[in-house]
A and B are shown apart, each in its own frame.
Chain A
Amino acid sequence: MSEKRRIWILIDPLKCTGCRLCEIACSLKHHGLIWPSASRIQVYEPYPGAPVPVVCVQCHDYPCVNSCPFGALGIDEKTGAVVVYEDKCTLCGTCVQACPLNIPRIVPGLRSVQICDLCGGEPECVETCELVGYHALKIVSKPEGGVEKTLLVDPYYKSKEIYERIILGGK
């Protein structure tokens, strides 16, 4: 078995219902509370009927980890997820700026930045989405060679594209 075979969350916005049960699962898991703003996965539905889930894709070059001036971010050996060392994080926001989609979350009331940790290999968000049978989130093997970044599309843009193409139906 290759050591490099890591899990990855594949998102299919066309199957997403916009229910945000993944967000609820995430904040319950990490904070024991329903906390939409603190969820590490965020569902955007700026255009009705075109929800787009956004979550860390574990870029192969980890710009957030490399940008942190305090060494507060690392990489989990097993999952490849970004690890936040809470005691070192100063909430300076450098990683947020370094991320192509500003995905790390600085949330009022929390002392360190919030980044998806893949729940140690069994992401609750994916489990919930499967449990309710929407299947917008799926666990797959992580693609190699930077392909993961293709998922990093501005959710406003993505939502608009789906809205215009699927909901309104083109020109």
Chain B
Amino acid sequence: MYGLNGRILEVDLTTNNYRVVEVEEKIYKLFMGGRGLATYILAKTLGEKWRLLDPLSPENPLIIATGPLTGYYPGIKLIVSGKSPQSNGVVGSAISSELAVELKAAGYDAIVVKGASEKPVYLYIEDNRVEIRDASDLWGLRGRELIEKLVEKAKREHGLERPPGHLYIGPAGENLVRTAAVMAKLAHASGYGGYGAVMGSKKLKAILVKGNNPLPRIYNPEKFIELRQQAVKTLVERFARFRQWGTVSGTWYHGYHTSSMPIKNWQEEWHDNKEFSPGGFESKTWVKNPWADYGCPTACMKLSRTIAHGDKYVTDGPDYEMAAYLGTNLGVFKPEDAVRLSAVADDLGLCGIQTGNVVGFAIELYEKGLLTKEDVGYELKWGDVEAIEKLLYDIAYRRGIGRILAEGVYRAALELSRVKNTDLLKYTVQVKGIGIGAHGIRSGLDYPQPIAYACSVQGGDHTSVAGLPVKSTESEAWAAIMDSSVVCMFNDLGDNFILEYLNAVTGWNYTLDDLYNTGRRILTLQRILLLLGGPDVTWNPLEHDDNPPRFYEPLPTGPYKGRATDKSKVLELKAKYYAELGWDEKGVPREETMDKLGLGEFKNLLKQLVQG
């Protein structure tokens, strides 16, 4: 086996045990790693009882998975997964963390954390040493304090050696907030899916990994070195401006040019506020540029800081998604304010997208008189940073209205609809329990197609959007390949290049068809588990494979005023997309498709679907 260790570390926090599981190469060939491997493990071990499996119960594993290209391809990403407490399906949630390369150097491709501890613990892994350690002095700490404390611990333990790679949760994860992220390095988040809550349900505060071995051997070292140099060179040449401004460029690009940025809970998607732009963020907030993760020549990150009432707020760029969701989506149009709210979300371990989505929903309800000061305890207004910061804390600590909003936008809307006895779901901008990323589809000018979210197996996840043709980098099959290989989507150099790279590292001799079939295989299995859903909510394809109502309302402002998503187009593309994937008209994978993809052993899961 090349490029992989062929070993998974399985830790059981209930019994305080661990074991190493060997994985055959044929499994990697079918599912690669990352999202694919996680989906396979979940379907194989829990498929039969999926519908009854509570994502926040000890039975739901937390999976941390790398892939064959992790550490070899420029940039670094790993996948956090499990049954999602947001969609009740499987989400492969990507995050940049040095832990990925440490894990591979420690001799494992993935960690599967099972069970739950009674007391707070953290996991320490160094090569063959695996320890479940007491974390009572870490529990309750917010991101920044936690990192500072972990550094002191590392220094005590390792002297002048480098500290281990880490993943952790903030208070939001500890309090089982469904919009909680698994975090790394202050401002990196694995947000989609809500795995911060899964980690919290296990009383697992952090995972630290240190690996001393070389990365697994490579099939064709000469070819690998040549391709790697080519990748580094191309990324440096082509992404010079991306290095300069990173995704922050989207604050103006998507806000002004493509009319696809969420504004006030997506009531609008266009702004012409010149200050809320890469230049604005750079001049008002940046203290370091660029900032990079392991092996990355692109360096899209920056560090920003702002001071309010004497308190210091530090975060990255912020990334476009944060600037959009904790900025314009909440009526915030000052870079300093967006930095402040992003820093608060990071510190609390909240996913900025999902939390900004549910907060936007709440402010709109307040604006419409559907939520009142009595419900909230204070006034909610667009752009009111003080109130929004308070609400972020209330969500992370599940206080007051925060108790309901902490359930994420879909479940919060269900509960509030019940309490208020009126339909509030129509104000949610989510698909299958997952708030939609900050890339609208109404203008037709941004990258996602009209079926992007409606047909995604990861709901509103903007990093995993459905699109046609299936055998292209515009499709979700491609996202599944990136998340399984595991390659950072910002360092994507096209399918043929990734294919060549994968073959040089693994020696699999994949064709382009093999590669895309792997993507189809992963999507097909994810789709089945998503449709199984449960236990609290399940999805009906006829109703839920659709855009939120807001996307069918015409854009009210900007140069593309009047544009809306065309429902008939969505239906047409959906039919075409499902047919191309070998799924039936409701998007249920056909038996012959499963046979063709080598998913025969999972056909029994289909039967549950048909019966149910």
Interface residues, chain A, CB within 8 Å of chain B? 17-21, 24, 27-28, 31-38, 42-49, 101-102, 107-109, 131-134, 154-156, 160, 166-169
Nearest Cβ distance between residue A65 and chain B, in whole angstroms? 20
Any chain A CB within 8 A of the CB of B68? no
The 3 residue pairs across chains A and B that have the minimum distance between CB atoms: A35-B214, A19-B292, A17-B292
Q: Confirm or deny: B101 has a beta carbon within 8 angstroms of a beta carbon on chain A.
A: yes
Question: Shortest beta-carbon distance, A11 to chain B, in Å?
Answer: 16
Q: Any chain A CB within 8 A of the CB of B442?
A: no
Q: List 28 A-B contacts (CB under 8 A).
A: A17-B291, A18-B291, A20-B294, A20-B295, A21-B232, A21-B297, A33-B218, A35-B105, A35-B213, A36-B101, A36-B102, A36-B105, A37-B212, A38-B214, A42-B162, A44-B163, A46-B163, A47-B151, A48-B187, A101-B160, A102-B159, A102-B160, A131-B236, A133-B236, A154-B160, A167-B287, A168-B312, A169-B305
B236 touches A44 (CB 8 A): no
Q: Which residues of A contact B102 (CB under 8 A)?
A: 36
Residues A108 and B213 in contact, CB atoms below 8 Å apart: yes
* Chain B residues near A169 (CB-CB < 8 A): 287, 305, 307, 312
Chain B residue at smallest Cβ distance from A156:
B155
Judge whether B71 is part of the interface by a CB distance below 8 angstroms.
yes
Query: Across the interface, which residues of B come within 8 angstroms of A108, CB to CB?
Result: 127, 212-213
Q: Does B225 contact A (CB under 8 A)?
A: yes
User: Of all chain B residues, which has the CB nearest A33?
Assistant: B214
A167 and B288 contact, CB distance less than 8 A: yes
Residue in B closest to A102 when the chains form the complex, CB atoms: B160
Cβ contact within 8 Å between A48 and B186: yes
The interface size of chain B toward A, counting residues with CB under 8 Å, comes to: 47
Asked whether, in the complex, the Cβ of A34 is within 8 Å of the Cβ of B214, the reply is yes
Nearest CB in chain B: distance from A23 CB, A? 9
- Partner of B295 from the list A21, A45, A156 (CB cut-off 8 Å) is A21
A92–B154 Cα gap in the complex (Å)? 24
Which residues in B have their C-beta under 8 angstroms from that of A107? Answer: 212
Complex interface: chain B residues within 8 A of A132 (CB):
232, 236, 297
- Chain A's closest residue to B143 (CB) is A48
Given contacts A42-B162, A132-B297, contact A49 B303 (CB under 8 A): yes
Verify A46–B105 contact, CB threshold 8 A: no
Task: Tell me what chain A mostly uses at the interface: helix, strand, loop, or mixed.
Answer: loop
| CB <8 Å contact, A19 and B211 | no
Within the assembled complex, what's the spacing in Å between the Cα atoms of A36 and B148? 23
Neighbouring B residues of A134 by C-beta, 8 Å = 290, 299
When distances are taken between beta carbons in the complex, the residues of chain B under 8 Å from A42 are 162
Nearest CB in chain B: distance from A53 CB, A: 11
Contact with A along B292-320 (1 / 0, CB 8 A): 11111101000101010000101000000
Beyond A49-B314, A156-B160, A169-B287, list 13 extra A-B contacts (CB 8 Å).
A19-B295, A21-B297, A24-B295, A33-B214, A34-B71, A36-B101, A37-B211, A44-B162, A46-B154, A48-B185, A49-B287, A134-B299, A167-B287
Nearest Cβ on chain B to A161's Cβ, whole angstroms = 13
Q: In the bound complex, how far is the Cα of B178 from the Cα of A47, in angstroms?
A: 28
Q: Say yes or no: A109 contacts B214, CB within 8 Å.
A: yes
Are B72 and A34 touching (Cβ within 8 A)?
yes
Most B Cβ at <10 Å: residue of A18, A108, A109: A18
Q: Within the assembled complex, what's the spacing in Å between the Cα atoms of A156 and B299?
A: 23
Chain A residues, Cβ within 8 Å of B72: 34
Q: A19 near B293 (CB under 8 angstroms)?
A: yes
- Residues on A with C-beta less than 8 A from B215 are 33-35
Is B217's beta carbon under 8 Å from chain A?
Answer: yes
A-facing mask of B213-257, CB < 8 A → 1, else 0? 111011001000100000011001000000000000000000000
In whole angstroms, what is the CA distance A160 to B232 when docked? 30
User: Which B residues are in CB contact (< 8 Å) with A101?
Assistant: 160
Interface centre among A17, A24, A27 (most CB of B within 10 A): A17
Q: Bound state CA distance, A100 and B295, in angstroms?
A: 28
Cα distance, A155 to B155, chains bound together (Å): 10
Question: Is A19's CB under 8 angstroms from B296's CB?
Answer: yes
B130 CB–A CB distance under 8 Å: no
Residues of A within 8 A of B221 (CB): 32
Alpha-carbon distance between A169 and B304 when the two chains are bound, in angstroms: 11
List residues of chain A with CB within 8 A of the CB of B312.
168-169
Q: Which residue in B155, B212, B217, B290 is a CB contact (below 8 Å) of A17?
A: B290
- What is the 8 Å Cβ interface bit string for chain B, positions 44-61, against chain A (1 contact, 0 not)? 000000000000000000
The residues of A that contact B163 with a CB separation of less than 8 Å are 44, 46
Shortest distance between the CB of A56 and any CB in chain B (Å)? 14
Q: A168 touching B288 by the CB < 8 A rule?
A: no
CA distance A17 to B290 in the complex (A): 6
Shortest beta-carbon distance from A152 to chain B in Å: 11
Say whether B105 contacts A37, CB under 8 Å: yes
Q: Are A47 and B147 closer than 8 Å at their CB atoms? A: yes
A91 to B127 CA separation, bound complex (whole angstroms): 20
Residues of chain A within 8 A of B217, CB atoms compared = 33
Q: Enumerate chain A residues within 8 angstroms of B299, measured Cβ to Cβ.
A: 17, 19, 134
**Smallest beta-carbon distance B111→chain A, Å:** 18
Residues of B within 8 A of A38 (CB): 214
How far, in Å, is B94 (CB) from chain A's closest CB? 18
How many angstroms between the C-alpha atoms of A44 and B287 in the bound complex? Answer: 19
Near A by CB (< 8 A), chain B positions 161-194 give 162-163, 185-187
Q: In the bound complex, how far is the Cα of B107 from the Cα of A109, in angstroms?
A: 13
Give CA–CA (A35, B98) in the complex, Å: 13
Please indicate the chain B residues that have their CB under 8 angstroms from the CB of A21 in the complex. Answer: 232, 295-297
B187, B221, B291, B303 interface centre (most CB from chain A within 10 Å): B291
- Distance in angstroms between the alpha carbons of A168 and B305 in the assembled complex: 7
Least Cβ distance of B519 to chain A in Å?
A: 26
Interface of chain B residues 117 through 168 with chain A (CB within 8 A): 127, 147-148, 151, 154-155, 159-160, 162-163
Which residue of the partner chain, among B155, B291, B303, contacts A46 with CB atoms under 8 Å? B155
